[in-house]
Amino acid sequence: MTRKRRNKNKQVRLSNLTLHKLDWLEWITIGLAGWFLFYPKPYNILLGVLLAIPIIGLLLNGLHKPSIATLVEISSDKDGDDKYDVADFIDVAAWIILLRTLLDYEFESVYSMIIPGTLACVIVLTILFVTHKLIEQSNRNKWWIYCSLIFQISLYSYAGTYAANCTYDYSEPKVYNAKIVSKRISTGSKGRKTYYLKVTPWGHHYDEEEISVAESQYNEMQTGQTIKIDLKKGLFNIPWYYIE
């Protein structure tokens, strides 16, 4: 067995050993993620718990300052290629928060999310590097592990920042009037329907645009109807809006 293969096997064994200690947290994450995706009530509480779980997982896994490699399980597919699986308490939470954010909120300006999202990412990465050791062995897995983990943490940080910005925003909205120009339903590849209302220009939106709405709103509102659009400041000063 080559030294390179021994180093890889050592990382895999270490990863499996540590991740198994947090199986309970991974199952909790998967259960709550499914609940939040399919029946997001109580929304504020479920989101808050899912936002906290990756931080809790990093702190628990880092109690004895193990290698960062312990957060990524390496396995091989049927073709012998390596697969890198980031701990579920990070990647499952990240993807479900992102999905619910895309489903539930409209973006006023993506650029306004850059600074608070980057700050959140730096904070989480600081927690990671303070509680875990750098990977000592120098082999081809090292940078794939770093890239996989940093990608998932970035996803969690930006999605979580925007989700918290909207969900926990209790500021007074600025109300604009707009008229419904048309309505349409988009059906995805798996049969999921998304409902859109095209509205006239409002506020800083100078062109007609489509806004996704809940099915109940879609059914209640008619073409030509005047509606109210609420623009809110955002908890982290990331503006967002919704139809009343």
The per-residue pLDDT for 222 is 94
Overall average pLDDT of the 200-225 stretch: 92
pLDDT category, 20, cuts 50, 70, 90?
Answer: very low
pLDDT category, 3, cuts 50, 70, 90?
Answer: very low
The per-residue pLDDT for 140 is 62
The per-residue pLDDT for 138 is 56
Overall average pLDDT of the 161-188 stretch: 95
In the chain, where the domains are located:
3-167, 174-243
Does the domain at residues 174-243 carry the CATH identifier 2.40.50? yes
The per-residue pLDDT for 79 is 66
Which residue shows structure tokens 């809110």?
232
The per-residue pLDDT for 11 is 46
Calculate the average pLDDT of the chain: 88
The per-residue pLDDT for 18 is 44
Using one digit for the tens of pLDDT, what is the confidence trace for 175-210? 999 999 999 999 887 778 889 999 999 998 999 999
Of 45-49, 82-86, 144-148, 192-196, which range is least confident?
A: 82-86
pLDDT category, 16, cuts 50, 70, 90?
Answer: very low
Using one digit for the tens of pLDDT, what is the confidence trace for 52-86? 999 999 999 999 899 898 898 877 666 667 678 89
Comparison of pLDDT for 213 and 109, the residue scoring more: 213
Overall average pLDDT of the 89-94 stretch: 96
Name beta bridge partners: 179: 226
Residue closest to 93 by CA, chosen among 55, 147, 45, 134: 55
Q: What percent of the chain has pLDDT over 70?
A: 88
The per-residue pLDDT for 139 is 60
Q: How many CB atoms lie within 10 A of CB 108?
A: 18
The per-residue pLDDT for 145 is 87
Say yes or no to pLDDT of 6 above 70: no
- Would you list the DSSP string of 111-163? GGGHHHHHHHHHHHHHHHHHHSBPP-S-SHHHHHHHHHHHHHHHHHHHHHHHH
Query: Are residues 29 and 53 in contact, defined by beta-carbon separation less than 8 angstroms?
Result: yes
